Amino acid sequence: MSIVEIKGLTKKFGNFTALDNVDLTMNEGEVFGFIGPNGAGKTTTIRVMLGLLKATRGEVRIFGRDAWKDAVELHKRIAFVPGEANLWPNLSGGEVIDLFLKMRGNGSQGRREELIKRFDLDPTKKCGTYSKGNRQKIALIAAFSSDADLYILDEPTSGLDPLMERVFQEYVMEVKAEGKSVFLSSHILSEVEKLCDTIAIIREGKIIETGTLNEMRHLTRTKLTIQTKEPVTLDETKGVHNIEEHDAELSFQVDTEELDEVIRYISQFGIVKLESTSPTLEDLFLRHYEAKETSNGVGGQA
Amino acid sequence: MYSQSFQGTGRLIKLIFRQDGLKIFVWLLALISVSLAAAAAYPTVYTDEQSIQAFALTMNNPAMIAMLGPGYAMENYTTTAVIFGHEMLLFTAIAVAIMNILFVGRSTRADEEDGRIEIIRSLPVGRLSYLSAATIAAVMTNVLLAVLLGGGLYALGIERMDLASSLLYGANLGALGLVFAAFTALFAQLAETSRGATMFSFVALMVAYLVRAVGDVSSETLSFFSPLGWAVRTEVFVGDHWWPVLLSLAIAVVIMVVSFYLNAIRDLGSAFISARKGKEHASPFLQTPFGLNLSLQFTNIAAWAVGIFVISAAFGAVLGDLETYFADMEFIQAYLANDPGETMTEQFIMLLMAIMSMISAIPAVMTVLRLKGEEDKNRTEHFYGRAVSRTKVMGSYLLLAILVSFIMQSLVALGLWSVGTMDDALTFNTAFSSALVYLPAIWIMIGLAVLFVGAAPKATGVVWFYVVFCFIIVYLGGLFDFPAWVNNISSFEHVPLIPAEDIDYMPLTMMTIVSIVFAIIGFIGYNQRDIQG
């Protein structure tokens, strides 16, 4: 069952088109990774999903209801963590967490205590004195201690240390195990790779790729490093790119669909050494990024 | 959809008071205690009918009408309640308006700008809840002010301060406060930044004051276009009209409805007046600490400069009429004969100079305190992460503040002198010397601001207390009859009263030295203390 359905979403700020005909579907129980360069439209998409921005055109439905019209009802089932949590400087962290929980109306005190411990937060300090990472923890604790069906996280780990990042990932896994859904916008590709079932890449307001990580890997290249007994020439071989030669070794990238052919071909030259690195999300991302680097993107809201 | 637009408002009101409650408390406490103290002090100064009539004489002239609103016929000046209503209402109203502008500006656009409303709106909270919470909090604050102040005045048991009139006085201020709360809520929808929203609101306040000043002197009709014009027409403690209060409330409601509508149809974070695009490269001037500082503060300084010039020019316009006015009134001449040293005009110029210099001090002090604001927003670390010394950065703020004080005082003089029929009322020399003589007194405030930013950054609010204290001494010092040492704390007390007195360089030199000492302590402190960000 799909819980987020975005069809033909366009959002304009004056003449600037921040989102251009975006289509997205996210299924229940899924961790959905949303990646893209700065200013691509990630935050704008999330703000439309939260009913903070009104779509210029198109439809955004969450749990089958309109994200703009039914915002208040929907938010009872949604927990949100912004990329930068600016809080009320005179209130303590504990007060802000309680406030958020009370306003949503379904939080658990036990879970709140547990999260404060796990995230190692001093809840008695005033928000004005917290570091960025600690303010981010407050938003995360408030989100994860509330009983939501959909977690919308906009670059939630910015400012967190690696240890806390891991705690965060554990909680994402935990809510996923409970059958809940997570919409994760992130720059940290290793994190997305680790956590997400489905991924969408957005660039200049358009979704340029969407699917599971495995599906996407087919669209990308595998990196091979080989050493052969006899010299091998690959310049003419189909699907081989970026050939580099160091000493006797040859490194290159192979289109995944041509991998079989290429291996057959080089095996004729007597393989001494063969190393293969599966494409990371980063390769995939960079490939999309570089492909269009010539057309200079105009940044929107971060 | 709209049935849920206000969900969660109650909790947000609590949140707003939790965040700003202390500030509101201090404001209310100050407003009410100064008002009550003044009301209680008037009977001790104006002990008989004759002195009250003498006060009335000094008030019923174009200059004082421009400053404080229209007076009444002589026979109405029978009690000190009338004097209180006449002398205190307008300036207290301005203070109430400022409180509302700062308060509503913070709980609307500032919270939106910083992303706090984004988090709130991601909760099951209505689209209009935050604005309604801010509005209701403002209503509560103003109602509290009206009731406490009205009740307090009544409790003093002063002649003619009956319950209805006292409550009218309070309600008048509360209603006016709500008008400016509503204006700020409106500008918070129109402007993209909180700075812009509060600046537009202050401009509205200034225009309201000027329209009323010009209207009260020359055309009654014009005054009806200003909320401050309505406020002074309550004739509180004389005629006791309630219609201006109702009119203010009605206008406040209308503006509020418009703000809610605009809030409902706009995107979070967007505005109807968008920020302009910037330049691609920094000019060489911008690349110096002083240049950067000036360009960051330029809009603010320019707005103050225009405002101060226009107000001074407006008073300049009535100055010319003043001499003619007095010359025609023989009994005033007779009254003034008691005090041959000062003409009425000179007295007025001296009071006006003191008040205008007080206003000039505000942008000058703000210029220095901005350094603390930049630190709070973690922007000074961009300097200190680079090869820029603290002395240089603070020095650029101090230099700019001194420049601002000079510019503002020159504009006061220029405004007063240049407009209207000059005659002999005010020569160019008198105008400039009587304005510039206040510079050392303003520098003390600047010095104090440097001292606090440098040595006690947590207590910078004290500087504003000092400014307010000096204002109270200037405006009400004679009334309160404080011991001399209390009056002497105010730097403005040591300024020679030009044109009546000759320039005495001694106190001016002393004040300059004291402000330098303050600044030096500030610089030493700033170089030694921890920078927060």
Cβ contacts of B123 on chain A, cutoff 8 Å: 75, 80, 100, 103-104
Query: A262 CB contacts (<8 Å, ≥6 apart)?
Result: A224, A234, A237, A239, A240, A254
Interface of B with A in 273-312 (CB under 8 A): 274
Cβ contacts of B128 on chain A, cutoff 8 Å: none
Name the helix (H) or strand (E) containing B519.
helix B505-528
For Cα atoms A124, A126, A129, give the angle at the middle one, nearest 5 degrees: 120
Reported as a pLDDT band with limits 50, 70 and 90, residue B281 is confident
Cβ contacts of A150 on chain B, cutoff 8 Å: none
Residue B7 vs residue B243, higher pLDDT: B243
Lowest mean pLDDT among A50-54, A293-297, B203-207, B295-299: A293-297
Radius of gyration of chain A (CA): 23
* Residue A12 CA to its chain's centroid (Å): 23
Asked whether A150 and A4 are in contact (CB, 8 A), the reply is: yes
pLDDT at A297: 39
Q: Which of B437, B462, B435 is nearest to B450 (CA)?
A: B462
Q: DSSP labels for B200-249?
A: HHHHHHHHHHHHHHHHHHH-HHHHTTSHHHHHHTT-TTTT---HHHHHHH
pLDDT at B306: 94
Nearest to A103 among B22, B114, B123 (CB): B123
Cβ contacts of B272 on chain A, cutoff 8 Å: none
In the numeric block, the tokens 């942008």 are attached to B363
**What does the alpha-carbon distance between residue B533 and residue B457 come to, in Å, rounded to a whole number?**
12
- Return the structure tokens found at A284: 């995939």
Number of neighbouring beta carbons within 10 Å of residue B170: 27
**How many Cβ pairs closer than 8 A exist between chain A and B?**
84
Residue to mutate among A45, A60, A72, A99, with most B CBs inside 10 A, is A72
Query: What is the SS3 assignment for B10?
Result: helix
Cβ contacts of A50 on chain B, cutoff 8 Å: 121-122
Over residues B341-362, the pLDDT tens digits come to: 456 777 788 888 999 999 999 9
Cβ contacts of A54 on chain B, cutoff 8 Å: 267
Residue to mutate among B25, B113, B122, B268, with most A CBs inside 10 A, is B122
Asked whether A87 and A96 are in contact (CB, 8 A), the reply is: yes
pLDDT at B329: 65
pLDDT at B1: 46
Query: B207 CB contacts (<8 Å, ≥6 apart)?
Result: B226
Reported as a pLDDT band with limits 50, 70 and 90, residue B254 is very high
Residue B154 vs residue A186, higher pLDDT: B154
Put residue A59 in one of left, alpha, beta given phi > 0 → left and psi -120 to 50 → alpha: beta
In the numeric block, the tokens 């404001």 are attached to B27
Q: What is the DSSP pairing of strand A198-203 with strand A150-154?
A: unpaired
- Return the structure tokens found at B528: 């030694």
- Residue B121 in contact with partner chain A when CB distance is under 8 A: yes
pLDDT < 50 regions, chain A: 293-302
Nearest to A52 among B4, B8, B121 (CB): B121
Residue B142 vs residue A268, higher pLDDT: B142
Reported as a pLDDT band with limits 50, 70 and 90, residue B333 is low
Q: Which amino acid is at B352?
A: L
Nearest to A69 among B1, B18, B114 (CB): B1
Helix, strand counts (H, E) of chain B: 22, 0
Put residue B520 in one of left, alpha, beta given phi > 0 → left and psi -120 to 50 → alpha: alpha
Q: Which of B129, B135, B260 is nearest to B189 (CA)?
A: B260
pLDDT at A248: 80
pLDDT at B348: 80
Number of neighbouring beta carbons within 10 Å of residue B38: 20
Over residues B284-293, the pLDDT tens digits come to: 888 888 888 8
Cross-chain residue pair B115–A139, CB shorter than 8 Å: no
Q: Which amino acid is at B93?
A: A
Asked whether B180 and B252 are in contact (CB, 8 A), the reply is: no
HEC secondary structure over chain A: CEEEEEEEEEEEECCEEEEEEEEEEEECCCEEEEECCCCCCHHHHHHHHCCCCCCCEEEEEECCEECCCCHHHHHCCEEEECCCCCCCCCCEHHHHHHHHHHHHCCECHHHHHHHHHHCCCCCCCEHHHCCHHHHHHHHHHHHHCECCCEEEEECCCCCCCHHHHHHHHHHHHHHHHCCCEEEEECCCHHHHHHHCCEEEEEECCEEEEEEEHHHHHCCCEEEEEEEECCCCCCCCCCCEEEEEEECCEEEEEEEHHHHHHHHHHHHCCCEEEEEEECCCHHHHHHHHHHHCCCCCCCCCCC
Asked whether B439 and B339 are in contact (CB, 8 A), the reply is: no
pLDDT at B342: 58
Asked whether B137 and B13 are in contact (CB, 8 A), the reply is: yes
Over residues B27-65, the pLDDT tens digits come to: 999 999 999 999 999 999 888 888 888 888 878 888 888
pLDDT at B396: 94
**What does the alpha-carbon distance between residue B80 and residue A296 come to, in Å, rounded to a whole number?**
73
As a whole number, the mean pLDDT across chain B is 89
Q: What is the DSSP pairing of strand A150-154 with strand A78-81?
A: parallel
Lowest mean pLDDT among A247-251, B139-143, B447-451: A247-251
DSSP-derived letter for residue B491 is G
